[in-house]
Structure 1
Amino acid sequence: MIKIRKSADRGRADHGWLRSHHTFSFGSYFDIAHQGHGNLLVINDDTIAPSKGFGTHGHRDMEIISYVLEGELAHKDSMGNGTAESANAGVVRPGDVQRMSAGTGVQHSEFNNLADRNTHFLQIWIKPKLTGIRPGYEQKHFTAEQKRGRLVLVASATGADGSVGMNADAAIEAGLFDGAESYSKTLDTARQTYVHLARGELTVNGLPLSGGDGALLDGEAELTLSGGRDAEVLVFDITRD
C-alpha cells in the first residue's frame, strides 16, 4: 500500500517572517487523518525571512532533526551549543544534519543567519525511544557527492555509517536524483517507510511526486526511486504504531 500526501494538501501558516507547511498536525493546524505515522510526528517545511527566527523556547522528550535546504540556520541552546566557547558552532548549512535530543528539557533558539536571503529548512520531530534522558546535540555534514544517485544514512538509532545518532527507533536517509539516476532498496514489511520529497520531481515505485509531496509505504517490500529532476529526498524508516 502506498498513500500519497500532496504538497498542496498540507497545513499552512504564514506569520510574515515565517512561512510553514505542515505534513502532519502541528500548532493551530489539526487534521485527524494526518497526525504522524508511527513514531514520525512532525515534518515542518519552514522558510524564515532574513535575520528573523524563533526566540528562545523549550522542548522535552523529543528527537528534533533540522535539515537545511537553503540559507543558514543559527542555533543556540542551554547546553552551550552556538556560543563562542563551544565546539559546536550552531550554524546549520545545506548538507548539514542537526540532531537535538530534548530529553529532560532544553531551551534553544533558531534564526536565519543571513541578512539578505531566506533560509529554507525541514524541522522533523521523532518520538524518543527512552524518555527522561540527558539532553544532547550532534551535527554532521553530508556532501552532495555522497548523496548523488543514492540514499545515504544521515540519522539512525546507533549512529551507524557516520550518521548522527538518535534516541529513537528510526532511521533517515537522504539522496539527490536527476536524469537517469535510479536507486532501489529492500524494505522491512514489519515497519513503515515515509518518503518526503523536499524539492524537485521524483518517481517513487512508479508514482510521480513533486516538491513537498510525501508517500507512506506500508507493506511494500521494495522502494525504487527514479525519474528525478533536481530532486532532494528524505526517506524515513519508522515504526508501524
Structure 2
Amino acid sequence: MKLVPRYSTERGNADHGWLKTFHTFSFASYHNPSHDSFGSLRVINEDRVEPKTGFGTHAHREFEIFSYIVNGELEHRDSMGNIEIMKRGDLQMTSAGTGIRHSEHAHGDKQVHFLQIWSLPSTRGLAPQYFTRHFNDDEKKDRWAHVVAPVGAEGVEEKREASGPAPVHSPLNLFATLLSPAAKVSHAFSSASTSRKGYLHVAQTSGYNPKQSTGAHVRVLGAEGGPLDLKEGDGAYVKAASGDELTIENVGDRVAEVLLFDME
C-alpha cells in the first residue's frame, strides 16, 4: 500500500470574505493538472460560509454531490422541491443526473463549515434524486461510521431519509470517525476488486487556517515507506490492493475528525 500526502498548504485556497474555501482538486479558478480527480472523486472542497450569505441558485448535471456538515447550519433548496436545514452530523446527497438547480446558504447567525464532495456517476442520464442521513458524534467516536455507499450495496436504502449510508451512483464508500487522543481505528480495503484507491482527509476543525497545518494530529500506519503524519486540512492519496489494511492513530492532544474514501 502506498500513501502520497496532500498537505493543506498545497490545496487551492481562496478567501472571498463571505466564503473561505480550500480545494483538494482543480475547481473554479484553481487549476492543477496533477490534482484534477482521483478514481470517481472529482471535488473535495472544505468551505466556510459566513452568516446570511451563500451560493445562489445554480445548475448541475451528471454529478453526485454531497455535503458533510462539520459545524453550523446549512440551508439547502433545489428544483426538486427540497428545502432542508442541515446541522452537524448531517449528510446530504444530491444525484444531479439529467439536471438540477440548487442553492446553499448559511442558516442562522453562525458560520457554517462543511465539506462539499462531488463524484462521477457510473451511469449517465439518471433521474435526479435527493437523500439525507444523520450520524451523531457517538456513532463516529473511535470507530468508522459508514456514511456513503454505492447504490445496491448491503444496507443501503434508496429512500430520501433512512438509517445507514446514503446511496451514491459511483463505486465509492465514505467512512468518518471522531478519533480521541491515543485511540486507533483500522480499515481493510474492499475486496470488490484487486486494486483499490483511497483518500484520507483530516477536517480543519480548529478554525480556518491557510498556513502550516496545526490542531489535531494523526499518524497513518501500514503503508510502504513507514508512518505518515497528518494534521488538520491535510490529506493523502492511497493506492492499495484488496484486503490491505491501514491504521490511523491519534497522536495529538485533541479529537481528530477524519474522512476516508474507499474506491475502485
The TM-score by the shorter chain falls in which range? over 0.9
Picking from 97, 100, 103, the partner of 2:97 is 103
Aligned equivalents of 1:203 and 1:51: distance in 2?
A: 38
Alignment-mate amino acid for residue 79 of structure 1: M
Equivalent residue of 2:258, what SS?
A: strand
Q: Which runs of 4+ in 1 moved over 2 A?
A: 158-161
Aligned equivalents of 1:201 and 1:78: distance in 2?
A: 41
Alignment of 1:108-187 (within 5 A): 108-115=102-109, 117-158=110-151, 160-161=154-155, 162-187=164-189
Alignment of 1:84-99 (within 5 A): 90-99=84-93
Task: Identify the residue that residue 56 of structure 2 maps to in structure 1.
Answer: 55
C-alpha displacement of 1:105:
0.2
TM-score if structure 1 supplies the norm length? 0.92
Task: Identify the residue that residue 16 of structure 2 maps to in structure 1.
Answer: 15
Contact 2:61 2:97 in 1 (8 A): yes
Aligned length: 231
Deviations for 1:31-87, whole angstroms, at most 9, x for unmatched residues?
1111121111100010101110001000001000101111000000000100xxxxx
Change (3 A) 1:75 1:160: farther
Equivalent residue of 2:13, what SS?
A: strand
Task: Identify the residue that residue 246 of structure 2 maps to in structure 1.
Answer: 223
Task: Identify the residue that residue 212 of structure 2 maps to in structure 1.
Answer: none
C-alpha displacement of 1:16:
1.3
Task: Identify the residue that residue 85 of structure 1 maps to in structure 2.
Answer: none
Aligned equivalents of 1:210 and 1:165: distance in 2?
A: 29
Alignment-mate amino acid for residue 232 of structure 1: E
Equivalent residue of 2:14, what SS?
A: strand
Alignment-mate amino acid for residue 179 of structure 1: P
Aligned equivalents of 2:70 and 2:81: distance in 1?
A: 25
Contact 2:218 2:230 in 1 (8 A): yes
Aligned equivalents of 2:115 and 2:138: distance in 1?
A: 21
C-alpha displacement of 1:160:
4.1
C-alpha displacement of 1:180:
2.3
Contact 2:250 2:256 in 1 (8 A): no
Aligned equivalents of 2:240 and 2:115: distance in 1?
A: 26
Alignment of 1:11-50 (within 5 A): 11-50=12-51
Alignment of 1:62-77 (within 5 A): 62-77=63-78
Aligned equivalents of 1:81 and 1:46: distance in 2?
A: 22
Task: Identify the residue that residue 234 of structure 1 maps to in structure 2.
Answer: 259
Structure 1: which 5+ residue stretches go unaligned?
83-89
Aligned equivalents of 1:178 and 1:230: distance in 2?
A: 5
TM-score if structure 2 supplies the norm length? 0.84
Alignment-mate amino acid for residue 187 of structure 2: K
Give the root-mean-square deviation of aligned CA atoms: 1.3
Task: Identify the residue that residue 207 of structure 2 maps to in structure 1.
Answer: none
Task: Identify the residue that residue 196 of structure 1 maps to in structure 2.
Answer: 201
Equivalent residue of 1:24, what SS?
A: coil
Structure 2: which 5+ residue stretches go unaligned?
156-163, 205-215, 222-226
Equivalent residue of 2:138, what SS?
A: helix
State the identity as a percent.
42
Aligned equivalents of 1:93 and 1:136: distance in 2?
A: 20
Equivalent residue of 1:146, what SS?
A: helix
Task: Identify the residue that residue 214 of structure 1 maps to in structure 2.
Answer: 235
Aligned equivalents of 2:146 and 2:99: distance in 1?
A: 27
